[in-house]
Structure 1
Amino acid sequence: MDIRVYRPGELTDADRAAWTAAQSQAPLLGSPQLANPFLSPEFTLAVARSRRGVRIAVIREDGEPVAFFPYQRSPAGIGRAVALGVSDCQGLVHRPGFQWDARDLLQACGLSVWEFDHLVEGQKPFESGATGSYASPVIDIEQGYDSYLAVLRAQSPKFTRTTLAKERKLGRDAGEVRYVHDERDPAVLRTLIDWKSAQYRRTGRSDRFSRPWIHQLVEQLFHTRTPAFAGLLSVLYAGGRPVAAHFGLRSERVLACWFPAYDPAYAKFSPGLVLHLRMAEGAAREGMSHLDLGRGAKEYKDSLKTRDLSVSEGWVMRRHPVAVGYRARRAPLRALRNTVTGRPELFEPADRLLKQIGRIRSGR
């Protein structure tokens, strides 16, 4: 087994094509989790234009690439998943049956530790370092939108009935409802970013779009389009005005949901929920298998989902003092966050406090 590490600009067209082919074939060969667009070469290369230290380890057997491991590396040899904290799916993309030793891989990459927070299932060499697993809800649409809607009516009849009624009321009160699955107008993307930034501030959360690299990353991905990958902006209009929008990533089979937001002036119509139903319909029409709503407990996800995937967080380490020190710093913060978000009696008062801070910030 030969492991070679490349800077993003050094990756050959042949290796990139092999990476894409491995993802394309994964659902047919029993590893559908590897088809997620966050694991695509396009995502890693886009992050590399905004962040330093991005590397790709290409593993070969008999001269042929069999696995690809994207990561970010600090000068001290601390490794993290590419765009950790922003990416919703992480891991090593590989051919079926490929086995690896996590510590040997870290050594070849010059890493003492590799941290992840959305590790996909089936990565046993990395799972040994997982500190917890979490649900990542999905919407299954492989059998078509009508089939999904029938499932939704059976499991959440009141939710489905109410949401569809609100869409009709939106049309009556605000004007004709129109959905664009793949909106190419950059001005609408800017509107979505403004909505999302305001939502972060209003709810007391850290505004991700205040960080220039995330803003730049989203804009780059919006303009990235290949047969196997694209940044997808989906928009719900009413009376010719955008009322809800979502920016996510799509591969051949998966639409990864990422940044949804809506105009608060239309909140009573639940435009975000209407948008997600329209997204499911549009993705089904394009032959996708599911929408990945991403890790995190949210009421709207529970209402829309058909099942859960599982993602893990944690780190794999070599015996190295840098790795030990890094984990000692990071572990208490992760444990505290997960304790609060995983227990309603702690999360609800914390959420109320954040929203109160958000109102103060907004001068409301």
Structure 2
Amino acid sequence: MRVSLAHPRELGAPELNRWRALQEAHAGFDNPFLSPEFTLTVGELRDLVRVAVIYDGADIVGFFPFERHPLGIGKPVAAGLTDAQGLVHAKDVEIDPHRLLRLCGLSVYEFDHLVAGQPMLAARHESHPSPIIDLRDGYETYTAFLREHSGKTYKTTLAKQRKLERDAGEIRHDYATSRVEPLHTLIGWKAEQYRRTGRTDRFAHRWIVELVERLQATDTEHFAGVLDMVYAGDVPIAGHFGLRTRTTLVGWFPAYDTAYAKYSPGLIHHLAMAERAAESGIQVIDMGRGQKEYKDKLKNGEYEVAEGRVATVGPAAGVHWLMRVPVRKTRATVLANPVLHRTADRVLKTFGRLRTALQS
């Protein structure tokens, strides 16, 4: 195994075409976060992004995109934002993860959404479900599943949609729009949601706003940013920004106007999005790891992603373990315990309300 390190902008057409070919040859890599376009766009905004081009002899057999942080700590590209992480590599190729780290100048690589079938899974890790909406048999088959397994939710959502139309105007869905104004509306809703629930506002970072804007402007056969909005009359009430490959759409930033909360606009939007996505050739909507009530109501399948780290022997890896591993295990314990999870969620929401009040 030989590795050549490059900034994403240094990759030429042969490398990018090979990356796409490897990605499309393996169903497990069919996720836009693993696409070269995503790494290229993040690399335009974050200079710490690198790509390890992996060779077997003269042949390129893999690509390993990562961010290199101080002390040789490696993280996924746009760590904290991505719902699919790892290498894109040829089938049956043998890659020693520890040797790969050394060749990349890394002491540790940590991950929290590593996709299945990765060499990095030789390390200790924890697996987590990532709910999906499986549309491979069509939207009608999906809604038949909902009627059977989530019948009350499905019927109630349709009833609320009819009431919303009576109260506010005809429901209109603008799928895959290139307009920037609704994107900024969605970002405003999402930022307010982060603050309201006590979470960190990701959109307080200008580079994340610019990343989303650049991705929305990207539209190719292999990869695109997808913004879709639901309107009642001429008023936007809910929306989502995500990314797609030819056949997979990832859930990324869903949000809605809380003034319409009683109508369940998020569920109305997700059903509309699933229908239009299926019409456009999308076979799977990956809603991403995380326990959310709406995901439980809408899912008809699951993938698995892993959380953990690969480390070499050395002081930097030891410092990283002390700083990160106990915190990760504590968080996993809280999330796995319904009582602790509800308590933590209430504390965060209380903090969010206090923070909002103080800012006002």
TM-score, normalised on structure 2?
Answer: 0.96
Task: Confirm or deny that 1:57 pairs with 2:52.
Answer: yes
In 1, the alpha carbon distance for the partners of 2:337 and 2:45 equals: 35
Once the two structures are superposed, what CA deviation does each residue of 1:48-101 show, in whole Å capped at 9, x if it has no partner?
Answer: 122231111111234232211100112432111111111110011012222211
Q: CA deviation at 1:25?
A: 2.5
SS of equivalent to 1:215: helix
Amino acid corresponding to residue 107 of structure 1 in structure 2: R
Once the two structures are superposed, what CA deviation does each residue of 1:100-129 show, in whole Å capped at 9, x if it has no partner?
Answer: 110111111111111111000111x31132
User: Equivalences for 1:172-251 in 2 at 5 Å?
Assistant: 172-251=166-245
Once the two structures are superposed, what CA deviation does each residue of 1:312-362 show, in whole Å capped at 9, x if it has no partner?
Answer: 111101112111211121111111222222211111112112111222222
Alignment coverage as a number of residue pairs: 358
Q: What are structure 2's unaligned runs of at least 5 residues? A: none
In 2, the alpha carbon distance for the partners of 1:21 and 1:151 equals: 34
In 1, the alpha carbon distance for the partners of 2:222 and 2:73 equals: 31
Once the two structures are superposed, what CA deviation does each residue of 1:218-250 show, in whole Å capped at 9, x if it has no partner?
Answer: 112111222100111011011111100100010
SS of equivalent to 1:172: helix
Partner of 1:136: 130
Asked whether the 8 Å contact 1:141–1:148 carries over to 2, the reply is yes
TM-score, normalised on structure 1?
Answer: 0.95
Once the two structures are superposed, what CA deviation does each residue of 1:283-325 show, in whole Å capped at 9, x if it has no partner?
Answer: 1112222100000011100000011111111110111211121
Partner of 1:83: 78
Runs of 4+ in structure 1 over 3 Å off: none
In 2, the alpha carbon distance for the partners of 1:340 and 1:217 equals: 32
Task: Confirm or deny that 1:298 pairs with 2:292.
Answer: yes
User: Equivalences for 1:67-78 in 2 at 5 Å?
Assistant: 67-78=62-73
Asked whether the 8 Å contact 1:138–1:291 carries over to 2, the reply is yes
Task: Confirm or deny that 1:8 pairs with 2:8.
Answer: yes
In 2, the alpha carbon distance for the partners of 1:118 and 1:150 equals: 30
Q: CA deviation at 1:23?
A: 1.7
Partner of 1:29: none
Asked whether the 8 Å contact 2:76–2:85 carries over to 1, the reply is yes
Asked whether the 8 Å contact 1:130–1:312 carries over to 2, the reply is no
In 1, the alpha carbon distance for the partners of 2:97 and 2:233 equals: 54
Residues 88/230 of structure 1: CA separation in 2 closer, same or farther (3 Å cut): same
Partner of 1:267: 261
Once the two structures are superposed, what CA deviation does each residue of 1:189-220 show, in whole Å capped at 9, x if it has no partner?
Answer: 00000000111111111111112222221112
In 2, the alpha carbon distance for the partners of 1:129 and 1:96 equals: 20
Q: What are structure 1's unaligned runs of at least 5 residues? A: 27-31
Amino acid corresponding to residue 2 of structure 2 in structure 1: D
Q: CA deviation at 1:8?
A: 1.1
Asked whether the 8 Å contact 1:142–1:287 carries over to 2, the reply is no
RMSD between superposed Cα atoms in Å: 1.3
Partner of 1:107: 102
SS of equivalent to 1:190: helix
